[in-house]
Amino acid sequence: MRNSEMTRSQKRLAHLTSVVREAGVKLTHQRLEICRELATTEEHPDAETLFRAVQERVPTMSLDTVYRTLWMLRDLGLLTTLGPNRDAVRFDVNLDRHHHYVCVACGSVRDFESEELNALRLPNAVKKFGTIVDAQVEVRGLCAHCKREKETTAAPLGGGRRRRRT
Amino acid sequence: MRNSEMTRSQKRLAHLTSVVREAGVKLTHQRLEICRELATTEEHPDAETLFRAVQERVPTMSLDTVYRTLWMLRDLGLLTTLGPNRDAVRFDVNLDRHHHYVCVACGSVRDFESEELNALRLPNAVKKFGTIVDAQVEVRGLCAHCKREKETTAAPLGGGRRRRRT
DNA sequence: TTCCTATTCAAGAATAATTCCAAGATAAGA
DNA sequence: TCTTATCTTGGAATTATTCTTGAATAGGAA
């Protein structure tokens, strides 16, 4: 089968599995099935939803494995999470129009303002989804502090997500 | 004191309290202190952080009150939460450059693409925060489905956040 | 001011997402 | 096949958030 004949989800699955393998991570039955599920979804599922879907094919699947696999895939750059990756809901009292810089490592968020970004025009397709109350840019990156930290201590893969409270 | 002489945080506090009052919501000691704390912060705190800060001035303050007050303020449009307002972390396997439409009511997320948005230029100030791996637009609004729902049933204020699983 | 009462609060129990732990399985190289 | 480092599981542990219930109080009325 030539690449051009593969469906979108087939391509995705091939990409997922090849990157996992190349990273030297064992491609277990469980992980393969999770990848399969991820490859076909056009949604933004949570772990529980994936768990339930995969469980139909692998009845012994555990929720913990789903979580561990998802964080591992994230660490390999194969998926992202929506919003700042956090333990708790965070509140924003800044009522002025502004945008966010989110550190993908520690979850800290910095505000910034930009007339140019405020003026951005949205495609018409968006209006079909529903009403629009706000549009803001979310920039993701590694903040200066975490970058320094990462250069000194290399964390292992799939190390979970929680930043323990101190 | 003229308005122009008020500090940013004084203005914020005045705005918070006046909107609360006008909404016919009792401005209790606890709520006032939470507003005070919110007015001074330039961060994006979680409920626990606010709780600890306010507790120094009001030792009997309960965490539940902080949560209830925050949701109430959100319902009045005085603050927002970061990211899609959710119970669980959600994952995004779409590796193509894309943007999100997030429903503020049900938390559903739709992807959309836009060459114009992909090309947006970030202000230099952002680069000082750290490295940049991605920039995406997050449009918030009320999705068609929730809009319809809202027109038929009006929910009370401060009704919490959780969408119970069905 | 004093009283009334709907609203609000505190404390702890309940719920639910996510992670940890210990012991048994298994992928993949030799 | 054999070996072993890595993985998975089920259940227990954590932790963010909400619920419940009886006590407290803001703000209007007398």
Encode pLDDT of A121-157 as tens digits: 899 999 999 999 989 999 999 888 888 877 766 555 6
Between B84 and A22, the higher pLDDT residue = A22
Nucleotide of closest approach to A90 (CA, C1'): D16
pLDDT digits (tens, 9 = 90+) for A48-90: 999 999 999 999 999 999 999 999 999 998 998 887 666 788 8
d(C-alpha A80, C-alpha B109), whole Å: 14
Q: How far apart are CA A124 and CA A119, in angstroms?
A: 15
How much is the mean pLDDT over chain A?
85
CB within 8 Å: A44 and B146:
no
A156/chain B closest Cα distance in angstroms: 20
The answer to whether residues A81 and A102 touch, using CB atoms and an 8 Å cutoff, is: no
pTM of the model: 0.83
Which residues 6+ apart lie within 8 Å of A127 measured at CB?
none
Query: What is the reported pLDDT for B3?
Result: 59
Tokens of A13: 């699955």
Nucleotide nearest B46, from its CA to each C1': D16
Q: How far is the CA of B147 from the C1' of D23 (A)?
A: 39
Q: Supply the DSSP symbol for B56.
A: T
Confidence at residue A131, expressed as pLDDT on a 0 to 100 scale: 94
Nucleotides in C strand less than 7 A from protein CB: 7-12, 16-21, 26-28
Nearest-Cα distance to chain B for A1, in Å, is 23
How close does chain A come to B76, measured CA to CA in Å? 12
* Residue B11 CA, nucleotide D23 C1', distance (Å): 35
Residues of B whose CB is below 8 A from A41: 93
List, for residues A11-49, the tens digit of each pLDDT value.
Answer: 889 999 999 998 989 999 999 999 999 999 888 999 999
Residue B71 or A5, more confident: B71
**In contact, B65 and B54? CB cutoff 8 Å:** no
- Asked if residue A25 keeps its beta carbon closer than 7 A to nucleic acid strand D, the reply is yes
Banded model confidence at residue B163, pLDDT cuts 50, 70, 90: very low
Query: Which of A94, A113, A129 has the CB atom closest to B144's CB atom?
Result: A129
Mean pLDDT value of segment B43-66: 91
